[in-house]
Amino acid sequence: MSQSPEQILKSVFGFPAFRGRQEEVIHHVVAGGSGLLVMPTGGGKSLCYQVPALALPGVAVVVSPLIALMQDQVTALRQLGVRAAAINSAMEFADLVAAENALRAGELDLVYVAPERLLTDRFLALLDELRVALFAIDEAHCVSQWGHDFRPEYRQLELLATRYPAVPRLALTATADEPTRADIVERLALRPDDVFIAGFDRPNIRYLIAPKDNARTQILNFIKGEHAGQSGIVYCLSRQAVEETSVWLNQQGIESLPYHAGLDRAVRAANQDRFLKEDAMVMTATIAFGMGIDKPDVRFVAHMDLPKSLEAYYQETGRAGRDGLPAEAFLVYGTKDIAKIRQFTENSGAPEAQKRIERQKLDALIGFCESASCRRQILLSYFGENHHEPCGNCDTCLNPPAVFDGTVAAQKLMSCVYRTDQMFGAGHVIDVLLGGNTERIRKFGHDTVSTYGIGKEHDRREWQSFVRQLVAQNLLTVDIAGHGGLHLGPGARAVLKGERQVMLRHDPAAKKAKSAKAKRTSAVVAEADESLFGALRACRAALAREQGVPPYVIFHDSTLAAMAADRPTDKYGFALLPGVGGAKLERYAEAFLAVINDHVSA
Ligand code: ADP
Ligand code: ZN
């Protein structure tokens, strides 16, 4: 054994310390142990097999189903001076032969293969002749039928335990609930004691959720306000919305590309490639985009429409901030979205048991959106983790909404819906409550109903918020098959009879618009370092273009941010930056030191 894990961490990866459970897992594997590691996206799973791969003699075999990702990983490792290769069906024949020869000659530290290739007699025979350091089984939930992405060929990985009993096997996944974990342990013949579960929390992601007012304007303000010049993803529900939103963003001066399953394969690949390689590209996409994207510097994920469930929301927002720097998840949601999903569930023709689960998932999602307490606490408790302290990094923590006894307001709203015959949408009902003088009110004689003008203590915006909250609580329902008319929901009677209290919160959106400018805590660098940071990014972009690689494989934003703050003047100082190992010091110190020097002396 040449170097210790700690030495490798510093000399190759340039990181000063392990994170979370990395150290424990790495020592376990280096000592010959096998196991399952469950760690959220961005938690640093790759290091858990890459460091042992370098610490142990022989080649580490990394099994991954995502061929598109392999090349990324290999590119990043080569930048670090690590001898790595992929072997898969997407490669040119000549490259394939070269990689196999290197493997046979013992010249590789890591080799990435798809499971179906690993399991061929030919490949196994080749492995039999080699010294294998360890097997890393990435996306291990694919082994299990309970996981969300079952792949039959993963089942056959069982044979690794019997064929190579002395070689450590490390299974890794970001998402596995209890039954899935048990299944992985059994299928890969691991010991139940060797399951390492890191917390789900992604503390650097700030969760922001707002009622839909004008989704486009809200998203635009969000991007322009905090995220100009940064990479991000905007999720839309439909392909058409993706196309239109992307065009619109470009018109507004925000460079954006569309991505959805209806686009030509080549177009999708090209757009994805540009998103990875450029520093400030916004991908406007359906949820078809994201699986297997591990760009570390995605600074925001915005949802124009409600996601399918909290699981989906967590997975989609998890694509932000993998590099550990501040990132934001922004969601706007509207009453119509909620009604649409409800309707869809009810009319789906699914068995009742299935519908019940869907309803529960929707309720959890709405509860999350409408909540007045810490978003992170709700999210994490949904995944079975209880955090006792509010996080301080979500909208409700930063800007707590006031909750009040809204029974009277709810009663007024519901009786107004009732008095106007449960036929009208929120706009008209609110007009009646506010005592408006519209053509419709005159036409239907609604200025004579008992609820006319009884709601003047709240303004329109507040009433709209109350409607949304009552819909969320299922006290009002929206007839979207008709014309969006409001109906009384199942619990309405009890409220009208005064048997049930309704808690409402004041919508903080109006207030927030004014105070938002004040703090800018989600910035990646201090204001004084911004121009140097920009120059460093330009230098990185030029180097990346020269080599045809994504900028983040040269240095992450976190390294550039440290560079802009510390401003090293020589190689010794440069070597101390996080993310600068031996290979990168040799290759890049000179170029970046020149940028710093120019900047400081200018
Ligand atoms: P995962 O595979 O779990 O989604 P990665 O392995 O891609 O996460 O790691 C996420 C990011 O965190 C990467 O950019 C990686 O370089 C960085 N990282 C991992 N471990 C450390 C560490 N100990 N110190 C600093 N950065 C780290
Ligand atoms: Zn919070």
Q: Is 269's pLDDT higher than 70?
A: yes
Q: Is 245 left (phi over 0), alpha (psi -120 to 50) or beta?
A: alpha
Query: Each residue of 214-246: pLDDT tens digit?
Result: 999 999 999 999 899 999 999 999 999 999 999
**Distance, CA 433 to ligand 1 centroid (Å)?**
55
Residue nearest to atom 14 of ligand 1 (CA): 323
- How far apart are the C-alpha atoms of 535 and 595, rounded to whole Å? 7
d(CA 116, CA 151): 10
**Which of these, 581, 596, 595, 589, lies nearest to 80 by C-alpha position?**
581
Compute the C-alpha angle 429/432/438, nearest 5°.
Answer: 105
Confidence of residue 480 (pLDDT cuts 50, 70, 90): low
The answer to whether 231 touches 290, Cβ cutoff 8 Å, is: no
- Which residue's CA is minimally distant from atom 27 of ligand 1? 44
Q: 209 C-alpha vs ligand 2 centroid, how far in Å?
A: 12
Hey, whose CA ends up nearest to atom 19 of ligand 1?
Answer: 44
Q: Give yes or no for a contact between 487 and 230, defined as CB atoms under 8 angstroms apart.
A: no
For residue 152, report the distance from its CA to the centre of ligand 2, in Å.
40
Mean pLDDT rounded to a whole number for the chain: 90
Ligand nearest to the CA of 292: 1
CA of 213 to the centre of ligand 2 (A): 23
Distance from the alpha carbon of residue 45 to the mean position of ligand 1, in angstroms: 7
**What is the pLDDT confidence band of residue 148, given thresholds at 50, 70 and 90?**
low
The widest CA-to-CA distance across the chain, in whole angstroms, is 91
The CA angle 430-432-436, to the nearest 5 degrees, is 100
| 361-374: pLDDT as tens digits | 887 888 889 888 89
Atom of ligand 1 nearest to the CA of 13: 16
Q: Please state, in angstroms and rounded to a whole number, the distance separating the CA atoms of residues 275 and 284.
A: 10
Pocket test of ligand 1: the residue of 47, 62, 82 to mutate, having most ligand atoms within 8 Å of its CB, is 47
Question: Residue 136 in contact with residue 172, Cβ under 8 Å?
Answer: yes
Task: Kindly report the backbone phi and psi dihedral angles of residue 120, in degrees, each rounded to the nearest multiple of 5, phi listed first.
Answer: -70, 150
Nearest CA owner, ligand 1 atom 26 = 15
- Which CATH superfamily hosts domain 205-401? P-loop containing nucleotide triphosphate hydrolases (3.40.50.300)
pLDDT digits (tens, 9 = 90+) for 545-563: 999 999 999 999 999 999 9
Does the structure show a pLDDT above 90 at 275? yes
Residue 479 CB: number of other CB atoms within 10 A? 15
Q: CA-CA-CA-CA torsion for 277, 279, 285, 289, nearest 10 degrees?
A: 40
Pocket residue to mutate for ligand 1, from 9, 11, 13, 231, most atoms within 8 A of Cβ: 13
Question: What's the token pair of residue 387?
Answer: 């955090």
| Ligand that comes closest to the CA of residue 198 | 1
Query: What spacing in Å lies between the alpha carbon of 196 and ligand 1's midpoint?
Result: 17
Give the CATH class of 403-506: mainly alpha
CA of 429 to the centre of ligand 1 (A): 52
Q: What are the φ and ψ backbone dihedral angles of 455, each rounded to 5 degrees?
A: -115, 30
What are the sequence ranges of the domains in the chain?
5-197, 205-401, 403-506, 527-601
Domain 527-601 listed as CATH 3.40.109.10: no
Buried b (16+ CB within 10 A) or exposed e, 259-273: bbeebeeeebeebbe
| DSSP 8-state class, residue 213 | S
Question: Whose CA is closest to atom 18 on ligand 1?
Answer: 44
Which residues is 62 bridged to in the sheet?
112, 136
Mutate to test the pocket of ligand 1, among 15, 25, 554 (most ligand atoms within 8 A of CB): 15
- Dihedral angle sign, alpha carbons of residues 432, 434, 436, 439: negative
- Residue nearest to ligand 1 atom 23, measured at CA: 18
> How close is the Cα of 361 to the center of ligand 2, in Å?
21
User: Best mutation site among 46, 80, 172, 319 for ligand 1, i.e. most ligand atoms within 8 A of its Cβ?
Assistant: 46
Q: Tell me the pLDDT tens digit for each residue of 55-89.
A: 999 999 999 988 878 988 999 999 999 999 999 88
Residue closest via CA to ligand 1's atom 9 equals 44
Ligand 1 residue neighbourhood (C-beta within 6 Å): 15, 18-19, 22, 39, 41-47, 294, 296, 322-324, 556
Question: Taking a C-beta distance cutoff of 8 angstroms, is the pair 379, 207 a contact?
Answer: yes
pLDDT over threshold 50, residue 512: no
5-197, CATH topology level? Rossmann fold (3.40.50)
Compute, in angstroms, the gap from residue 15 CA to the centroid of ligand 1: 10
Please tell me the predicted confidence (pLDDT) of residue 510.
47
Topology alike, domains 5-197 and 205-401? yes
